[in-house]
Amino acid sequence: MVVSFCRWSSACEDGRVSDLYVFDHVDGYLTCFSCVWSAADDSGRSNGPDWTTLTPRDMAAHMRRHAQAGHAVPERAIVKVAAYVMKSCP
C-alpha cells in the first residue's frame, strides 16, 4: 500500500503550500521525492534525485530539517510519518 504523507499541493498550517512530497514507496521505503538534499544530505542516503529511508523516525527527522531550513512542511505530515508503522510488501 502506498501512503502519501504530504504532496506539493498540501496546505501547511501557516498557509503556504508544501515544498515536499513524501510517501511510502511500494518497494518498502519512505521517499522524499525529488529532494533538494538528495545528494547533499548528511545521512548519505540517496536514491537518485530522491531521499529515502527505511524508518519513519529518520524520515520525520529529515522533514524537520527541511522545516528548520525554512521549507514549507505541514507539521501534521511530520506527526503522521513519526507515528507510521511500515508494512512489508507482499
* CA pair distance 4, 19, nearest whole angstrom: 14
Over its C-alpha atoms, the chain yields an Rg (Å, rounded) of: 12
pLDDT class for 69, splitting at 50, 70, 90?
very high
**Do 74 and 6 meet the contact criterion of CB atoms below 8 Å apart?**
yes
Number of C-alpha atoms within 13 angstroms, CB side, residue 41? 24
Residues 22-52: tens digit of each pLDDT: 999 888 889 999 888 765 555 555 556 888 9
What single letter denotes the amino acid at residue 10? Answer: S
* CA pair distance 59, 90, nearest whole angstrom: 23
The arrangement of strands across the sheet holding 30-32 comes to 4-6, 22-24, 30-32, 51-53
Predicted model pTM: 0.83
